[in-house]
Amino acid sequence: MTELLARAVDVGATAFGVARLALAVAGLLFALYVVVLGTLVLAAHRRRR
Amino acid sequence: MITVLVLCALSAVLLVFTYTLGMYLESAGIAEHPAGDGGDFSVVFLVPCLNEERVIAATLSALPGGQVLVVDDGSDDGTAEVVRRVAGPLVRLLRREPPDARQGKGRALNHALRHFPEELLDDADRVLVCLMDADGRLDPRALDTALPYFADPRVGAVQMGVRIGNRTQSLLTRMQDMEFVVYTWMFQRTRTRIGSAGLGGNGQIMRLSALLDLGDDPWSPSLTEDLDLGVRMVLSGWRTACVPDATVSQQGLVSVRALARQRSRWFQGHLQALRLVPSVVGRASGRVATDLLNVLLSPLLIFVGAFMTISLVASLVGVAFSPVAREQLIQPVPIASWYTLTFGAAFLLGPLYARISGDMGRLRGLCYGHLFIVYNLVWLVAACRGLWRAARGRRVWMKTERLADPSPGPA
């Protein structure tokens, strides 16, 4: 029983880590989106000038 | 490093919310309608069909007066017979046979344009082509409301507001209706001010000269040929507008599976539209460039949402099993923050939908607003499926099956 509880706690801790990692990936993708959008808008602006 | 990226994710939510709020405020003013009745224009209705025997008779009967060109793209049901049976003198049926048929809606529409009456091509500035889906129903005032926009010679196309005719049938059709209303009344109205409103296929009116400006094949073979057409028209110097109070209704999908499939097709089409990015960079500038690039790159944002959802699910698992996670997350501030970040937009979208639909109070609208946030998870499924199909080079989709009439009703 104690072992089962310990395993459950491990699963919980891992899931918590995964949650943090997934949020980080979301942040990375968003940062990528902002950088790409900003770069392309800037390129469009410069090209028109 | 991870903490920085987590902060990026949070800023994503805040920025997207701010963008939505900006769109909401920008679109909150009273819509200005151009003067005039649009009586100087001839309207030709273009109705592409593929196995539409269930709906086409009612659609043709409901169209207002004017020439109608029905393009049967290789139907193997009774579509052609039904059209012949109900067709009046102004309805013309164009049949495409294999191997030319069923090569995509864009190719069928280009075929129709090549068979336009010569006399109309001579006066292309004053001829409008109204594209209707085979299940589309125009609101009786739709044309009177939309046509005056073409008095501005810079306007190349106008998109009507789309409603789901069978929106009261189920929660799923109600959510689809809400999706179109929110898109039209918040985002499209603001994009109209920029002159780059998106085109959506059904209830889409185009100036014939603007179509001809795009070459022999104005419609691309893409899965979202309407998205491509709108972008290319704007890049050719035309303005596109959306008229929310001119409405067209269409059938909503009644199964989640069919909905996910349809959205996967749209998502894959959106990915195909990325090839327009260099043209936008080369030919657009200012707010138009920003808007078009934002639209074209938006599939990436769906994946941001996907990872946030994974994070939420993993957090719930963590809370269920880990005392440390419980200690950190079961606190008033994290719960309130999560609720605000996840459902904050419901407080804008719900009341907006209640106001526009006019068949519910604000409280019910607010409930729908919350459900709408959950409903949008269908895009995650669609994005994964669309990406998978694109990666495998598969781009042939079965078309969406129609329901038997009488659905949809008037908008």
Residues A15-42 have pLDDT tens digits of 888 888 888 888 889 889 999 999 999 9
Residue B29 has a pLDDT of 65
Domain count, chain A: 1
ipTM score over 0.90, yes or no: no
| Number of C-beta neighbours around residue A6 at 10 A | 10
Residue B257 has a pLDDT of 93
Q: Which of B404, B400, B2 is nearest to B202 (CA)?
A: B400
Contact A29 B289 (CB under 8 A): no
Summarised one tens digit per residue, pLDDT across range B143-190 is 999 999 999 999 999 999 999 999 999 999 999 999 999 999 989 988
Contact A45 B7 (CB under 8 A): no
Domain range for A42 is: 1-49
Residues of A in contact with B14 (CB under 8 A): none
Q: What is the CA radius of gyration of chain A?
A: 21
Residue B410 has a pLDDT of 45
Please determine, for residue B19, whether its predicted confidence score (pLDDT) is greater than 90: no
Domain range for B293 is: 1-411
Please determine, for residue B244, whether its predicted confidence score (pLDDT) is greater than 70: yes
Q: Which residue of A has its CA nearest to B305?
A: A26
Predicted structure pTM score: 0.88
Residue B322 has a pLDDT of 83
Contact A48 B324 (CB under 8 A): no
Out of B176-180, B301-305, B313-317, B328-332, pick the least confident. Answer: B328-332
Contact A33 B323 (CB under 8 A): no
Please determine, for residue A6, whether its predicted confidence score (pLDDT) is greater than 80: no
Summarised one tens digit per residue, pLDDT across range B111-145 is 999 988 888 888 899 999 999 999 999 999 999 99
| Number of C-beta neighbours around residue A19 at 10 A | 24
Sequence-ordered strand ranges (E) for B13-118: 42-49, 67-72, 91-95
Length of chain A: 49
> C-alpha distances in angstroms, B222 versus B32, B136, B157, B216, B298?
34, 21, 19, 16, 17
CA dihedral over B109, B111, B114, B116, signed as positive or negative? negative
Interface of B with A in 7-26 (CB under 8 A): 7-12, 15
A46 touches chain B (CB under 8 A): no
A15 touches chain B (CB under 8 A): yes
Contact B285 A44 (CB under 8 A): yes
Domain count, chain B: 1
CA distance B208 to chain A (A): 28
